[in-house]
Chain A
Amino acid sequence: MKVSIQWLNKYVDLSDIGEERIAEALPMIGLEVEDVLKAGLVPLQNVVIGQILEFVPHANSNHLSVCKVDVGDGVIRQIVCGAKNFKQNDVVPVALPGATLPGDFTISETVMRGEVSQGMMCSARELGLGADHSGLLILTGKGFKLGTPINDCFPPADTVFDISITANRGDCLSHLGVARDLAAYFNRELKMPVPENIFARERPSGNASNEFLKVSIETPDCALYNAWTIRGVKVAPSPEWMQRDLLAVGLRPINNIVDITNWVMMELGSPLHAFDAAQIGGNEIHIRKASEGEKIKLLDGKDYVLSAEHCVIADAQKAMVVAGVMGGENSGVTDATTDVVLEAAWFDPASVRKTSRKLALSSDSSTRFTRDVDPTFVAVAGTRAAQLIVELAGGTVAGTPISLGDWPRADRMIEISGDYVRERCGYDVEDAEILDIFKRLRFAVTIEGDKWQVLVPAFRPDVDRPIDLVEEFVRIYGTTTIPSGAIDSPVLPALDAKTARFVAKANDLLVGQGFSECVHYTLRDEAELKKCFGETIAAALALANPLTSEQSHIRPSLLPGLLDALKLNLAAHNEPRRLFETGHVFRPDKSGALRELVSVAFVALAEPTTRNWKSREKIDFYFAKKLAFDLAARAGITEQRLLVEAVAAGTSPLWQPGHAAVANDRAKAVSIEMGLISPKLALDWDIEANVIAGELLFTSDTFKLADKVTKFKAFSTFPPVSRDLALVVDQSVSEGFVADRLKATATKATAKQFAVEKINCFDVYQGKGLPEGKKSLAFEIVFRSENKTLTDDEVNKVFAKIQLDIERNIKCTIRK
């Protein structure tokens, strides 16, 4: 909303306050100033009135003219000019050398294609007087004396505040509204426009027709409808003062009738509409729902197809206006119009919003209706505009004005006390100060002992509870005096959320391992999801209304983002090695319902891409496994609870079969994938190096478990005894399987005399000396007793039994 200071001054005298103080005050009462603009002619030096005595075409140019110009100082100047819209003896503004025009454009004497040019004749835009740049600003016949400074010929420049109005302050979408707030803040008198008698608010009379017009409201979307028929108007440009006001607030003057409706809307905040009465078929107006598929061409020149949820203003045959949004081309005021029908109505904010949203069309009118126009002021605005039309465009109001419906809301009474205000504020303020501010806001207060009855006028729909009055008090009283002090915050028995604690631990672990943290967008594109995770997952994660196709889906994994980061940093020669990210990802479960998962993911290049004076061992799957399991342990999931399986061929495009694995706990609260990213897939990211990666996905159930306090377990003070055992098994048999069985066998063999402390695979061998298709797994079995030093004899007996039993328990042979 653009607000002109000159216009504001009609309602509140701010002349002694100064623009800067106003600009500072507006945001502090909740009216955020987005920009401070100048409208009209700013003070210009060396720009004067001149006359073009004669002109000839420039010899070296087919679009320039060489002019002789008189600026009344007895010297005839030569000025080269590119404009075409002038004739001999035209009077124009002339910027002489030394002048600085808006935009910091300094004029000096120059030579243009061989001809001296001693200044510049100006267009309206060059002077900052408007948008017109089609030619020189012709001032012929206005009686300006040659040499007169240009500022003496135009009114002084205006300051215009571009204010951002929050959704609750529809009342400030008008000069009167902003003036009302500034009057309250600066404690000034509000001057209502004259004649004041038209500002008396009256409920609708119920008159539905006169000899010229018949109106019926046929939908609850319209609560009030007033119409005036004004006959015999002369459509012409509106007076200069009105054009100036409209231009200052960014509206284009059209003609006196349309300008009056716009001007009154900007003055009072109530949108109005003027019809050409001759175009109203049957002299009937119906406020009704549009019929399904009904078409209308609006004043923006576009065709719209309406549906039954939209409200229109129609005549006997056709829709003429989309109610509250925009008028149609078929019934607007034109130069040929002689009789107009002026409409002042109140439309339901929700209905106008819905229509405006559906048609993707917003207007000055819809902006106001959606913020709940003051219904008690609708007829006032109409009366104001009707008077201005009669005054400025001639004509007479014909018949009794139409006045239908009822106020959907009016002034409201709120009960409050000084104590209520003080309790919410937390600081002392006198009753009198609070009451004074209510009065300045034009809220009438009746005091009943401790209780106050505050009457809030209908122009403030946002104020309807005691807490709203507290806000009003604070807004005008000012926030700078709110004291800041000691904070009384007794300890509460609460802990940080478990997910937050886990993520912090995971971050610390990864950072300690040399990983740099990345943060990527949640929104990814469909093709990538399909490629990495398959059609089902991609389909489940589509947004209903994506803004762009690259950001059409929510992410199921952090790994594609991390591959992006690897790609970018490789390309930038940043020598990336280890990257990680934590965040929320989404996966459908078997039923198709979405799970929001906490993810921790990491990627690492198996070896550096840069040359190094010393090489290190490459990292591989087992690096990822160790890191992933350490991360799981920080969520309270121990290795014993995890079931690990190799990624089978054809199950995941992301991972390289034979070099990657998945792990789950039995409760399915965590799922881990780790290993080598498919080198073929990595090539899609232009990554030629081996990428070792891992991702842990936790459901919220993981973190619901109660915190377990670690209980100390005593350990043996006696030495361990170990025996080595190599087993030859089929190559396809996993070490985990053999180790589990060996542990069970050994534990049984000890018959609880002592413990099998550890089964450690220390060698995996296949090749020479072993049959085809077999491998040897060598284990160290560690025994220990809690209460004595084990003798060789005791251990040997058990070891012999293990050797005997293991060949029966699994398919294997002992390698001697």
Chain B
Amino acid sequence: MQEQLAAIVNEVETALVGIKTRPDFEAFKAKIVGGNGSLTAVMKQMGKLPKEEKPAAGKLINEAKRKIEAAFAATLAAIGDAELAARLGDPIDPTLPSPDDFEGRKHPLTQTREEICRIFSRLGFTIADGPELESEWYCFDALNTPASHPARDMQDTLFMPADTVSKDASKKADEAYVMRSHTSSVQIRTMLSGQPPIRIVAPGRCFRRDTVDATHSANFHQVEGLWVDKKVTLKDLKSVLDFFVREIFGTSVETRLRPSFFPFTEPSFEMDIKSQNLGALSGRWLEIMGCGLVDPKVFENVGIDPQQWTGLAFGVGLERIAMLVHGIDDIRHFYANDLRFLRQF
């Protein structure tokens, strides 16, 4: 029996050296300690031994078993290590670049739009929208810009053919469709579809029949603002716009309301800012938006009583703000989509 055990231990120790995989190991292990295994067979002999020989035999068997189990455990550990190493592959070089070299970015105009909307949302303004393909009535007439007004010139506005029908922009009568020249038309659609009090910002795309150059674009974006309530005043206009401008340009920015003219506000102003942190544009007055109190005629056009309600409105150029904030000198960068531009923001 001693020889048998020694031979088994020897066999195990020798064979395990060549066993590298788990199935080979399990097969070999079965040959030794399985139901028909060689060690199992030796152990079965134990029962047939005389009583006085049993303790010595048991000791021998235990000794052999301990050795075999230790050898198994070592091999199993080695296999486990090998498997893990195989799963892990080669160690990484952390300095190599990732092959997935794409990074998502929002366009600077989107970033600016979201920032503007976020600022106004803190004053309770919610986002409204309206069609880009707009009827002349909503774009002009309702905004107190009659047919004889210079802004109605074919020169400035892009028109659709007379027979155009749009399912997404209702008409007042048989007026033409235009590509909206400002987002102020959203004021009209908002006031017609709801009741005051109203406090909205309407970001959107606008169109002018302009030759493209460093400061002009065939389309551009505005964020329109409208606040209609019982007692909205000039002081509110100044306060709201000062808040907005300071959030965007910092608290050191100076502002002024310069009297101007828009058919849909009375009084009307251009808001100018002056800042020392605008690079080459520092220290001078820069026009950034048109604004004013809603003209009573506009209220009448949408069936709101101007005796009871007053309002303020403004329209900020998105490109203008983004250009000032980021020091961009040419509006065409926004529409060229060169990744060397887009990846900067």
Contacts and interface: CB of A to CB of B under 8 A. Distances in A.
Interface of A: 27-30, 32, 166-169, 349-350, 353-354, 357, 370, 423-427, 465, 467-468, 470-471, 474-475, 479-480, 482-492, 494-497, 499-500, 504, 507, 510-523, 542-548, 551, 554, 564-565, 568-569, 572, 574-579, 583-584, 586, 589, 591-596, 608, 612-616, 699-700
Contact of B104 (A424, A483, A515, A594): A515
Contacts of B99: 608, 612-616
B162 A518 contact: no
Main secondary structure of the interface of A (DSSP, over half): loop
Contacts of A520: 335, 337
Given A167-B150, A516-B342, A479 B167 contact: no
Interface string B252-280: 00001111110100111110000000000
A554 B166 CA distance: 13
B235 A427 contact: yes
Nearest to A703: B129
Nearest to A574: B339
A496 B127 contact: yes
A423 B231 contact: yes
Nearest to A509: B104
Nearest to B285: A27
B165 A592 contact: yes
Interface stretch (B8-16, B70-78, B203-211): B203-211
Given A28-B259, A499-B129, A468 B338 contact: no
Interface in B287-345: 293, 295-296, 310, 334-340, 342-343
B101 interface: yes
Chain B interface size, as a band, is 35 or more
Interface in B136-168: 147-151, 153-155, 158-162, 164-168
A577 B100 CA distance: 10
A353 B148 contact: yes
A442 to B, nearest CB: 18
A574 B239 contact: no
A354 B153 CA distance: 9
A499 B149 CA distance: 33
Contacts of A354: 148
Contact of B337 (A423, A488, A568, A575): A568
B300 to A, nearest CB: 11
Nearest to A541: B160
B295 A467 contact: yes
A578 B242 contact: no
B133 to A, nearest CB: 5
A663 B256 CA distance: 53
B169 A596 contact: yes
Given A168-B261, A487-B240, A572-B340, A521 B335 contact: yes
A589 B267 contact: no
A485 B165 contact: no
Contacts of A595: 166-168
Given A520-B337, A547-B209, A596 B133 contact: yes
Interface of B: 96-97, 99-107, 109-110, 114, 121, 123-124, 126-129, 131-133, 147-151, 153-155, 158-162, 164-169, 176, 179, 197-200, 203, 205, 207, 209-211, 217-219, 227, 231, 233-236, 238-240, 242-243, 256-261, 263, 266-270, 293, 295-296, 310, 334-340, 342-343
Contacts of A28: 256, 258-259
Given A544-B162, A616-B99, A483 B339 contact: no
B162 A470 contact: no
A572 B338 contact: yes
A591 B165 CA distance: 10
Contact of A489 (B199, B270, B296): B199
Q: Which are the 9 A-B pairs with shortest beta-carbon distances?
A: A426-B233, A426-B235, A511-B104, A471-B267, A166-B261, A30-B259, A514-B102, A350-B148, A496-B127
A529 to B, nearest CB: 15
Nearest to A31: B259
B243 A487 contact: yes
B223 to A, nearest CB: 12
A287 B209 CA distance: 35
B168 A492 contact: no
A504 B114 contact: yes
14 contacts: A166-B260, A350-B148, A357-B153, A425-B234, A426-B233, A427-B234, A470-B266, A470-B267, A471-B268, A489-B124, A516-B343, A545-B159, A592-B165, A594-B133
Contacts of A423: 231, 233, 310
Contacts of B340: 572, 574
Nearest to B240: A487
Contacts of A515: 102, 104
A697 to B, nearest CB: 12
Contact of A479 (B121, B162, B256): B256
B105 A511 contact: yes
Given A426-B233, A519-B335, A613-B96, 19 more contacts: A167-B150, A424-B293, A467-B266, A467-B267, A479-B258, A487-B123, A489-B199, A497-B126, A517-B105, A517-B106, A521-B217, A521-B335, A522-B219, A523-B218, A547-B158, A554-B179, A579-B337, A614-B99, A700-B168
Contact of A490 (B97, B124, B147, B218): B124
A592 B100 CA distance: 45
B338 A485 contact: no
| Most chain B CB inside 10 Å of its own CB: which residue of A512, A612, A699 | A612
A482 B234 contact: yes
B337 A519 contact: yes
A547 B259 contact: no
B259 A29 contact: yes
A543 B259 contact: no
B167 A544 contact: no
Contacts of A32: 258, 260, 270
A267 to B, nearest CB: 24
A487 B236 contact: yes
A586 B133 CA distance: 9
A543 B235 contact: no
B259 A568 contact: no
Nearest to A597: B168
Nearest to B177: A594
| Most chain A CB inside 10 Å of its own CB: which residue of B153, B160, B337, B343 | B337
A38 B93 CA distance: 70
Nearest to A497: B129
Nearest to B132: A584
B316 to A, nearest CB: 16
A219 B108 CA distance: 56
A699 B296 CA distance: 34
B260 A167 contact: no
B123 A514 contact: no
B290 to A, nearest CB: 11
B161 to A, nearest CB: 5
B91 to A, nearest CB: 14
Nearest to A482: B238
Given A511-B106, A520-B335, A545-B159, A474 B165 contact: no
Given A486-B239, A578-B104, A543 B234 contact: no
Contacts of B269: 479
A576 B102 CA distance: 8
B239 A487 contact: yes
B127 A497 contact: yes
